[in-house]
Amino acid sequence: MTMWPDPSSNSAQIYQRALGVLPGGISRLQTWNEPFPFYAKSGSGVHVTDEDGTVRVDFVNNFASLIHGHAHPVIVEAVCEAVKNGTCFALPTRVEVELAEILCERFATFEKVRYCNTGTEAVMLALKAARAYTDRPKIAKFEGAYHGMYDFAEVSLDSSPANWGNDPRSVPYARGTPRGVLEDVVVLPFNETEASERIIREHADQLAGILIDLCPSYMGFAPMSPQYVDMLHRVTKEIGAVLIADEVISIRLGYGGGQGRFGLEPDLTVAAKLIGGGFPVACVAGREKVMSVFDHSKGKPLSPSSGTFTANPIGLTAGVSAMRLLTQENFDRLEVLGERAREGIARTFDNSGFPGQVTGIGSMFQIHMTQRDICNHRSAYQSSEEAGAIRLLQRRMLERGFIISNRGHGFLSTPMNEDHVDALADATSDALREMVQ
Ligand SMILES: Cc1ncc(COP(=O)(O)O)c(C=O)c1O
């Protein structure tokens, strides 16, 4: 039997067909692997089996979505039962109330919840809500922070030394981004409290909201400092801007999400990924006074929101099961495992002599092929050599039966144990030794 990336593998054959019908042969940038993707056939617990029959331990877990790994039996059973009763209705269902109640019980700042399907969509709704609430046009976000594909949220995602400026400039990510979008996005330097406050105040009367991530994944999950959190609380209150926490990933940092852990009190929160138990479920949630922009009960809402598949009962059923499985005990276990994974990988860098490091928090890590301190977009910005080295490490890890992202990210799942994270560290050690040679 041939295996990926053999040109006669099943994956190679599927890819040839894909090239005929999908741009570049793929549907999401993150699934790309050189020289072509390997195709998932099935997943169970910590494992994914590809179309060539190769089994690997999955440390990507659909980019932090699958906190319970693949095909958790409780979630599968609940979904199979739900499917029998119909998959979507132009009517509300009881389960939309059930999941919202669970979320509001866990997050101190959630008073009302509005669903949608993806993190991108939820970020868009949150930014529109902030504009509607304040009747102001601008939003602020961090240089280099990823928030999905909404034009406004993409600004300065990959600004480079050639265009990022001294104070961060609004740099388009996609060609054709309208100038108006760039003019209405204020870009902040992550964790630089004084500079950020100065920039925010320059736009104070125009600023609808500040969109933040407490530990941006593109910056090695560098944690936001307590001073920065304080500044955000103080300044948003003073200028009347809406503080929006993007917890699409950081929600996995604890029972009350990243905000519980960092003491952040946002007006609005964007949640997605794990809240759908492996299905596309996302939401904006927060203070009643801001969330009232979605309320239709007194006439046309200030920010109308709808969607054919919004609050889809199958996804919500999976979400309810996933959230119920996500106990404090599970968070505690994941915390310890995450620490063990990072310590193990850090030791491999010490032992191999390869100049690199691992960063992360809770159940998340990122491997970097540099030793400089990773604390913001500019320090996380990879040279082409570093980007090439991390892709090579990823390839060596795949060959050893471990899936990490092509930027070196990993996200643990509850079916993992010490053996899985120790094996990951051993494989990293082997891979680095081979690369040094
Ligand atoms: C912090 C953050 N926000 C928003 C998004 C967009 O979510 P989605 O891919 O569901 O559109 C992502 C996706 O990875 C993310 O990491």
Three-state helix/strand/coil letters over 43-81: EEECEEEECCCCEEEECCHHHHCCCCCECCHHHHHHHHH
Q: How far is the CA of 217 from the centre of ligand 1 (A)?
A: 10
Give the atom of ligand 1 at the shortest distance from the alpha carbon of 273.
10
pLDDT in tens, 97-138: 999 999 999 999 999 999 999 999 999 999 999 999 999 999
Question: What gap in Å lies between CA 437 and CA 435, rounded to an integer?
Answer: 5
What class is the 10-67+328-436 domain? Answer: alpha beta
Q: What are phi and psi of 364, to 5 degrees?
A: -130, 145
Q: What are phi and psi of 49, to 5 degrees?
A: -110, 130
Pocket-testing residue among 157, 248, 273, 377, ligand 1, by greatest number of atoms within 8 A of Cβ: 248
- Among 315, 317, 262, 295, which Cα is nearest to 109's? 262
Instruction: Return the residue whose CA atom lies nearest to atom 2 of ligand 1.
Output: 147
- Among 376, 408, 362, which Cα is nearest to 216's? 376
Pocket-testing residue among 27, 120, 212, 281, ligand 1, by greatest number of atoms within 8 A of Cβ: 120
Average pLDDT over residues 71-87: 98
Give the atom of ligand 1 at the shortest distance from the alpha carbon of 119.
7
List all residues whose CB is within 6 A of at least one atom of ligand 1: 63, 118-120, 123, 146-148, 213, 217, 246, 248-249, 272
Instruction: Return the residue whose CA atom lies nearest to atom 4 of ligand 1.
Output: 147
* Range(s) within the chain of domains with CATH label 3.90.1150.10: 10-67+328-436
Average pLDDT over residues 200-217: 98
Question: What gap in Å lies between CA 245 and CA 265, rounded to an integer?
Answer: 9
User: What is the number of other CB atoms lying within 10 angstroms of the CB of residue 252?
Assistant: 26
Under CATH, which number does the domain 73-325 receive?
Answer: 3.40.640.10
Instruction: Return the residue whose CA atom lies nearest to atom 7 of ligand 1.
Output: 119
Contact in structure between 104 and 284 (CB atoms under 8 Å): no
Quick check: 150 pLDDT over 90?
Answer: yes
Give the atom of ligand 1 at the shortest distance from the alpha carbon of 145.
1
Q: Could you tell me where the DSSP H helices lie in 107-178? A: 119-134, 151-154
Which amino acid makes up residue 9? Answer: S
Instruction: Return the residue whose CA atom lies nearest to atom 8 of ligand 1.
Output: 119
Confidence (pLDDT) at 389: 96
pLDDT in tens, 248-283: 999 999 999 999 999 999 999 999 999 999 999 999
Q: How far is the CA of 248 from the centre of ligand 1 (A)?
A: 6
Which amino acid makes up residue 390? Answer: I
Question: What gap in Å lies between CA 195 and CA 193, rounded to an integer?
Answer: 6
Q: How far is the CA of 185 from the centre of ligand 1 (A)?
A: 18
* Residue 100 backbone class (left: φ over 0; alpha: ψ -120 to 50; beta: rest): alpha
User: What is the number of other CB atoms lying within 10 angstroms of the CB of residue 405?
Assistant: 17
Confidence of residue 353 (pLDDT cuts 50, 70, 90): confident
Give the single-character DSSP code of 91: S
Instruction: Return the residue whose CA atom lies nearest to atom 13 of ligand 1.
Output: 148
Q: How far is the CA of 102 from the centre of ligand 1 (A)?
A: 21
pLDDT in tens, 376-402: 999 999 999 999 999 999 999 999 999
Q: How far is the CA of 183 from the centre of ligand 1 (A)?
A: 23
* Range(s) within the chain of domains with CATH label 3.40.640.10: 73-325
- Among 119, 66, 103, which Cα is nearest to 324's? 103
Q: How far is the CA of 362 from the centre of ligand 1 (A)?
A: 18
- Helix H or strand E segment including 209: strand 207-212
Question: What gap in Å lies between CA 390 and CA 234, rounded to an integer?
Answer: 39
- Among 185, 179, 143, which Cα is nearest to 164's? 143
Confidence of residue 338 (pLDDT cuts 50, 70, 90): very high
Quick check: 2 pLDDT over 80?
Answer: no
